[in-house]
Amino acid sequence: TFPANFGSQAIHGLVRDEAWTVESSGDSAASMSCTLGADRWPWEASFRYGIDLEPGSLTLVLEAEAGDRPMPLSMGWHPWFRRLGATALTVDSDQVLELDDDLIPTGNRLPVDDVTDLRTGPALGERLLDHVYVSARPPAVITWPDLTMAVGWSGPAETLVVHTPPAGFCVEPQTAWPNAPALAQSGTEGTGLITAESGKPITVTTAWTW
């Protein structure tokens, strides 16, 4: 059991709270690493993170490798963006996960409806989304009044969480559904949960272009 950090829930993973060691850095690129141990996680694991900023693009590469024992793994990003004017969002997915009253996925898939269907790039308007899009195909496209940005992803990532509170919004590429360990244990298929093994690093990438 992990300590709750959002009401009764433990959210947003573990490595965001870890101290990272900068391995290299320059004007437009950096790489760093961190480890997880038994003090916070039942398995040992190591992580490497690469950041590359170029004119018109940002590429983020996250690599994970288990220690001596195989372990369950999910990776992803949680970027926030400003919600300005007639902001629009395109997400190429026709299904979202059913959520319970605490916004935890039940494992059931639902077809998108008039509010959650983002395939044609509608304006966010007053939509208040906190939804998990499954089998999402990259890129997601954000359109502001003065800029269009494509959020791409590659590797074992087919899940996209979209959160649209009034002041901002999130477009979150992930390798697995929220609550994937519990759902997979109960027999739900397609959660995206990965089994990481020693000597077999797993890499996921997100690239933003504008």
Q: Is the peptide bond before 139 cis (omega within 30 degrees of 0)?
A: yes
Which of residues 1 and 80 earns the better pLDDT score? 80
Range of the domain at 163: 15-209
Question: Rounded CA gap, 146 and 31, in Å?
Answer: 31
Q: Which whole number is the average pLDDT over 8-28?
A: 84
| pLDDT of 201 over the 80 cut | yes
User: Does 160 map to a domain?
Assistant: yes
In a domain, 21, yes or no: yes
8 inside domain: no
Going by pLDDT thresholds of 50, 70 and 90, the confidence category of residue 11 is low
* One-letter identity of residue 61: V
Band (7; pLDDT cuts 50, 70, 90): low
pLDDT of residue 100: 94
Chain centroid, CA 105 distance in Å: 15
Instruction: Give the pLDDT confidence score for residue 84 in this predicted structure.
Output: 86
**Does 90 fall in a domain?**
yes
6 is a domain residue? no
pLDDT, one tens digit per residue, over 133-168 is 999 999 999 999 999 999 999 999 999 999 999 889
The pLDDT of residue 91 is above 90 = yes
Does a structural domain hold residue 105? yes
**Residue 190: pLDDT over 80:** yes
pTM here is 0.92
Mean pLDDT of 62-88: 94
Q: Evaluate if residue 199 carries a pLDDT over 90.
A: yes
Domain assignment of residue 101, yes or no: yes
Asked whether residue 125 is assigned to any structural domain, the reply reads yes
Mean pLDDT of all residues in the chain?
93
pLDDT band at 8 (very low <50, low <70, confident <90, very high): low
Q: What are phi and psi of 15, to 5 degrees?
A: -75, -15
Residue 169 has a pLDDT of 98
Element (H, E) at 182: helix 180-185
At residue 1, the pLDDT reads 57
Number of domains the chain is built from: 1
Rounded Cα distance, 6 and 16, in Å: 15
What CATH number is attached to the domain comprising 41?
A: 2.70.98.10
Residue 37 carries which side chain, given as an amino acid letter? G
Both tokens assigned to 48: 């490497």
CA 173 to mean position of chain CA atoms: 4
